[in-house]
Amino acid sequence: MKPDLFSIGSVTVHGYGLMIAIGVLAAVMAAEKRAPRLGLNGEHIFNIAVWGVAGGVIGAKVLYWIVELPDILADPSILLDIGHGFVIYGAILGGILGGFLYCRVKKLNFLAYFDLVMPSVALAQGFGRLGCLLAGCCYGKQTDSWFHIVFTESDLAPRGVPLIPTQIISSAANFLHFAVLLWIAKRVKGDGQVAGFYLIFYSVGRSLIELLRDDPRGAVGGLSTSQFISLFILAAGIGLVAVRGRRK
């Protein structure tokens, strides 16, 4: 792992930020390449990405504030820390909303572009989790298994302790998710179903990986915050797949 990759003068290139940038670039390129095959205008992809990223950043921050509301009420200065504190589900929901608003403004078929973009989102998340690996965040529980990772430079994960490599597992699962969605995209019956399958697979996968993680997270009853939100995302995904398939 390497939180800080290198510096050029006073500018430091962080591993997490670089992986996020690579993920976004790969996602845009993949969507632009697939667009003509689906009869869609690839020129809109970059703008959808910009709106989606903007919505994702806002959504991730807002959901973090909601999850950490008790701590924020106790210490309002947390609101001033803009560079830290994001929740991935907020990024997903905010990004979808950003893409929806762009399609409404440009009078585009949102569900068609929704299907086009979501496999690329899984691809971007695969690179993003490699960024988590470099930074040491989203770490797993301590383990005696041979399949482990030991962090030595992290300010986030425990140092010198064998941990379940949840970042590597998540990254591999997201790359697999991307491949599976591409396969599904050739077989769906109606617009919106690919996106629905994304919501189904991601919510299930995220709920399972939560069982292996040991980093500080919020909780709702006996579930982590992400597992609780996953219940609604799963229901939305199943509904989208079922309704759009029946209408077709």
Q: Is 0.85 topped by the overall pTM? A: yes
Evaluate if residue 248 carries a pLDDT over 60: no
Closest CA to 241 of 177, 171, 181: 181
The letter for the amino acid at 178 is: F
CA distance 55 to 45: 15
Query: Which helix H or strand E contains 220, and what residues bound it?
Result: strand 219-220
Among 101-105, 111-115, 137-141, 186-190, the least confident range: 186-190
- Residue 55 phi, psi (nearest 5): -65, -35
Residue 64: which pLDDT band, with cuts at 50, 70 and 90? confident
Burial class (CB in 10 A: 0-12, 13-18, 19+), 125: buried
Whose tokens are 């939100």? That residue is 229
CB-CB contact of 209 with 226 (8 Å): no
Query: 3-class SS at 9?
Result: coil
DSSP assignment, residue 163? Answer: E
Dist CA 7 CA 137 (whole Å): 21
Helix (H, G, I), strand (E, B) or coil at 213: strand
Q: For residue range 183-231, list pLDDT tens digits in order.
A: 999 988 889 999 999 999 999 999 999 999 998 877 788 888 889 999 9
Nearest residue to 125 via CA among 17, 210, 20, 18: 20
Q: How many CB atoms lie within 10 A of CB 198?
A: 26
CA distances to 72, 89, 91, 185, 236 from 58, in Å: 17, 11, 7, 29, 22
User: What pLDDT score does 198 carry?
Assistant: 96
